[in-house]
Structure formats: structure tokens, C-alpha cells
Structure 1
């Protein structure tokens, strides 16, 4: 397996720039997620790593070798597509063995490698079946088997679960992560599904309009979003955003929203202007003791929890609270925010305003 390093990689298609000067490192054996909405540049980045697209500028290293201008055939990678890309006239065994047969590998060795891949994926009983009659999940396992037998330096996956229904996608996501852990393979995985990325990834790059918004572990990205885009894209429901204006000095630990003082982590830099007070729904409580009020405009029952939406002077707030707690549409309630989990954003730039890491959970690097 191999470390992958991306240095100042850019990709232009005529006048359109799909990826803008991106840099990040994928550690050997890591399960790495490229996450973002449609058109953000994540698939183009993956295709450049694979050699299916050549970068306009920048460098790509796989296992210490610069491969930016080399074709896919010279990179020792395996690519798994969303639509499986199986050969319909071949059975499962021949689909899996095809890349090995094409390389001229001896038959006995081919049989051994196919049997091992089938055992890992639990598809020994379907090796002699035609692929046309298989379920979506079994077809995806066959596609994975064809990648595994090559024993490449890294696996590249472009939304491989996108064609599966929601329930089976969750099951296959668990299987993929377990497979990765058993093999210790370096895996780069593209998805637009933030839940999928959070569930499987060791590290995540969040992209938007060809730019890397944030790079880090799932926990860091959730707890310490570097921009409003990341805070809004990650989480369901997404973070609450309350607009206000204030003048803050270094070390400030509170802000004023509609005449009420609300706590924040200690600021590492001063700021004066329009800001956004960001807080996750699970960090909002309904409290009669709070002077910051909102009117309940909707409730959504989710079994053990409920999502309560309130209208305030600074914007709407969603709270994830226990379903046993009363919340009636039309009533006025006090809102209490966990100040240590709050993120402040610059309204104009959309970036997180730096806070003291020792006092809270905020940082933007």
C-alpha cells in the first residue's frame, strides 16, 4: 500500500477551473474521503489521482513516486465505479480474474487469488453465476473483488454505493469499512453523502467550488468547522446560524444577541462587525431560566428525540431534545446554548473566527 501526496494540484477545462490549487496528504493505510456537493471537484480530484485526468499544474505522488503526468496504467491503482462496470457476458469468476488473465498470470495463481478475494467478500457460492442475475449488492462485491485480486498500491472509489437503496447502502458501508480494516489498504473514496463520509472515513477533505474548505478527522470537522459552508453541509439538521453585530476584543468570552449575553469560547483575535453565532441543534436546550426567547413554530417527532424549530429575533433555531419534553407550537420558550460548543463566523467571508483551543472546541487553520 502507499502514501498519496497532492501538492498544489489544479485542473482547468478550457476557461473553467474544476480544482483550484489543492494540497493534502493521504497516509499509508488510511480510509480517506473526498466529500462535497455535485460539481465541487471531488471526482475530478480522484480521476487525477487515478491518471484518468492529467492535472493542469501541480504534483501527485503515490508511494513516493511523482505520477502526475503518467497514465493510469502506470500507477498501480484499482478503480471501483458507481455503476460496477462488469462484463455482462462473463460469470463472476471470469469478471474477477480478468485483470490477472490480461497480465498473463499463471492459471493456478489466478485461481488462488480469485478464491481468496471471494472468501474475503463472502461470494464463494456465486463464483460460477452470470453477473446479469445478481443483486446490486452482489454486483458491487464482484467489482470490489476484481479490484482486490490485483493487490494494488491504493483503491480509488467513485461513489460505489450510489446505485444501492438506502438500507443496503448502510450495510455495504459497514462491509466496506470492515474490508478496509482487514486489508489495511490505502483507500480514497468520493461521496456527496456526509453521513457516509462520517461513518467510514479516517480523514475527510470537504470541497466546494473546486476549493478545499477543510481537511481533518470526522470529529474535528463536525466540532470545529472552518467555514459556514462546512458547518451547514455537515450535520442533520445542520448547525443553527444567528446573525448579530458586535465588537469583540481578544479573550472575549461572551457576545450580545438581542440584549442578552451568550457565552462563547475565548477569542484568539479581535473582531468588529457582522457575525454569525453557530450552534448545533443538540447543544440547544429549552430553559425557562434563559432570557433569550423564541417562539415554537414546528416540531418533528423522531422517536426518542424530537426536532423543535423556533423563531428568534436573530433567525430560526432548531433544537434536538428528548421527545418527552413538552414543546407546543405557538408558545414562547427560553433558549440555552452550550457556549463551549459555539462557533463564530465572519458574515462576509464565511470563515470561522478563531477561538482559544484550550477554552473551547474552535479552530481554523
Structure 2
């Protein structure tokens, strides 16, 4: 397996720039997620790492070797696609063994490698079945087997679970992560599904309009979003945004919102009067009679153990995730308190988060 280093990667298609100066490192053995909405540049980035697209500029190093301008055949990687790309006229065994047969490996070695992969994926009992009659989950296992059997330096996966139904997709996500933990294989995985990325990834790159918005662990990205885009894209419901005009000095531990002091992590920058945004996750809002910041409940949504309460306030609409046993009536005015260490403060113009005592080790503003 191998470390993959991306330096100032850029890809242009005529006048359109799909990827803009991306830089990040994929550690040896990491399960690495490229996450973002459709058209953000994540698949183009994967294809450049794989050698299916050559970058306009920048460097791609795999296991210390610069492969930026080398074709896919010279990069020792394996691809797994959303639509499986199996050979319908072959059975499972022949599909998995095809890469090894193409390399001219001895038949004994081919049989041993196929049997080993079949045991890992628990598909020994279907090796002699035609792929045309298999379920979507079994076809995906066969596609994975064909990639694994090569023992490449890294695996590239382009939304491999996208064609599965929701229930089986979650099951296969668990299986993929368990498989990765057994094999310790460097894996680069593209998805638009933030829950999938949070569930499976060791590290996540969040992309938007060809730009890397943030790079870090799932917890870092959720707890300390570097931009408003990341804060809005990650989480369900998304982070709440309260817009206001204000200022603060380095060392301050709060902002003034609606005439009330709202406690925040210690702010590390000095900002003169400008449009700001206070970000708070729904689960970090408590409804309390003593809360000085107030709003009116406009809707409730029962979810079993919790409920989502929509509150209209002076600086925006908030969604609070509270225990289902808490009484919340539509039309009622309620006080709110926010969990100070979890709050983010953003510049409304640029969308970037200001440095605080909570996030300073996570990203650089």
C-alpha cells in the first residue's frame, strides 16, 4: 500500500476549471473520502489520481513516485465503479481472475489468489455462477474482488454503492469499512453522501466548485467547519446560521447578538464592525426559561428519541434537536442557550470561520 500526495493539482477543460490548486495527503492505509455535491470536482480529482485524466498542472505522488503524467496502467491502482463494469458472459470466478490471467500469472497462483479473495468477501459459494443472475450486493462484491485480487498500491472507488437501495447501501458501507480494516489498504472513495463519508472515512476532503474547502477527520470537519459551506453541507439538520453586524478583539469570549452577550470559544482574531454569522449545531441548543436569546416555535418534528423544533428568531430561523419528552408547543416563545465551546463565528462575506481556541489546531483561517 502507499501514501498519496497531491500538490497544487489543477484540471482545466477548455475555459472551465474543474479542480483548482488542490493539495492534501492521503496516508498509507487510510480510508480517504472525497466528498461534495455534484460538479464539485471530486470525481475529476479521483480520475487524475487514477491516471484516467492527466492534470493541467500540479503533482501526484504515489508511494514517493511522481506519476502526474503517467497513464493508469503505470500507477498500480485498481478502480471500482458505481455500475460494477463486470463481464456478463463470464462467471464470477473468471471475472475476478481476469486481471491476473491478463498479466500471465501461473494458473496455480491465479486459483490461490481468487480463492483467497472469495473467502475475504464471503462469495466462495457463487464462484461458478454467472454474474448476470446475481443481486446488486453480490455484483458489487465481485467488482471489489476483481480489484482486490491484483493487490495494487491503492484502490480508487467512484461512488461504488450508488446503485444500491438505501437499506442495502448502509449494510455494504459497513462491510466495505470492515474489509478495509482487515486489509489496511489505501483507499480513495468518492461520494456525495455526507453520512456515508462520516461513517466510513478516516479523513475527508470537502470540495465545492473545484476548491478544497476543508481537509480533516470526520469529527474535525463536523465540530469545527472551516467555512459556511462545510457547516451547511455536513450535518442533518445543517448548522444554524444567525446573521448580525458586530466586532470583537483577540481574546474575547463572546459576541453581542440582539443586545445579549453570547458566550463563544475564545476568539483569536481582531475584527472591526462587519457582517458576521454565528454558527450553532441543532443539538447544541437547549430550550430554557432563563435563556436570554428568544424566539417563537413555528414547527415541531417528532423523531422518536428526539424532536426537531423550528424556531423563528430575530437573526434567522433555527432548528434545535431536543429530547422528545421536552414540551415544545407551536406558537410558544422560548428562551435558548447555546453550548459555548461548540460555536463557530464566520465572516459573512468570505464565508470562512474565524480562528478560536476550539478550532485553531484544526485549520488555518
Instruction: Supply the RMSD in Å over aligned alpha carbons.
Output: 1.1
Structure 2 CA distance, aligned partners of 1:200 and 1:116?
A: 24
* 1:361 CA drift (Å): 8.7
Structure 2 CA distance, aligned partners of 1:55 and 1:33?
A: 20
Stretches of structure 1 lacking an aligned partner (at least 5 in a row): none
Structure 2 CA distance, aligned partners of 1:123 and 1:328?
A: 53
Show the counterpart of 2:150. Answer: 150
How high is the TM-score relative to the length of structure 2?
0.98
Q: 1:4–1:50: structure 2 CA closer, same or farther, 3 Å change rule?
A: same
Q: 1:362–1:342: structure 2 CA closer, same or farther, 3 Å change rule?
A: farther
> Contact between 1:341 and 1:361, CA under 8 Å: does it hold in 2?
no
* 1:130 CA drift (Å): 0.6
Show the counterpart of 1:115. Answer: 115
* Equivalent position SS for 1:199: helix
* 1:295-314 correspondence runs (5 A): 295-314=296-315
> Contact between 1:239 and 1:278, CA under 8 Å: does it hold in 2?
yes
Stretches of structure 2 lacking an aligned partner (at least 5 in a row): none
* Equivalent position SS for 2:325: coil
* 1:72-151 correspondence runs (5 A): 72-151=72-151
* 1:152-191 correspondence runs (5 A): 152-191=152-191
Aligned length: 364
Structure 2 CA distance, aligned partners of 1:363 and 1:314?
A: 27
How high is the TM-score relative to the length of structure 1?
0.98
Show the counterpart of 1:286. Answer: 287
Structure 2 CA distance, aligned partners of 1:326 and 1:348?
A: 38
> Contact between 1:355 and 1:363, CA under 8 Å: does it hold in 2?
no
> Contact between 1:225 and 1:364, CA under 8 Å: does it hold in 2?
no
Q: Deviations over 1:56-75 (max 9, x none)?
A: 01111111110011000010
> Contact between 1:81 and 1:158, CA under 8 Å: does it hold in 2?
yes
* 1:328 equivalenced with 2:314 (yes/no): no
* 1:354 CA drift (Å): 1.1
Q: 1:155–1:361: structure 2 CA closer, same or farther, 3 Å change rule?
A: closer
> Contact between 2:12 and 2:18, CA under 8 Å: does it hold in 1?
yes
> Contact between 1:343 and 1:362, CA under 8 Å: does it hold in 2?
no
> Contact between 2:296 and 2:332, CA under 8 Å: does it hold in 1?
yes
Q: Deviations over 1:275-311 (max 9, x none)?
A: 0000000000000011211110111110000000000
* Equivalent position SS for 2:21: strand
Structure 1 CA distance, aligned partners of 2:22 and 2:248?
A: 33
Show the counterpart of 2:231. Answer: 231
Q: Deviations over 1:188-234 (max 9, x none)?
A: 00000000000110000000000000000001000110000000000
* 1:93 CA drift (Å): 0.5
Runs of 4+ residues over 3 Å off in structure 1: 360-365
Show the counterpart of 2:340. Answer: 339
> Contact between 1:265 and 1:362, CA under 8 Å: does it hold in 2?
no
> Contact between 1:20 and 1:211, CA under 8 Å: does it hold in 2?
yes
* 1:355 CA drift (Å): 1.0
Show the counterpart of 1:12. Answer: 12
> Contact between 2:18 and 2:209, CA under 8 Å: does it hold in 1?
yes
Show the counterpart of 1:60. Answer: 60
* 1:258 CA drift (Å): 1.2
> Contact between 2:155 and 2:185, CA under 8 Å: does it hold in 1?
yes
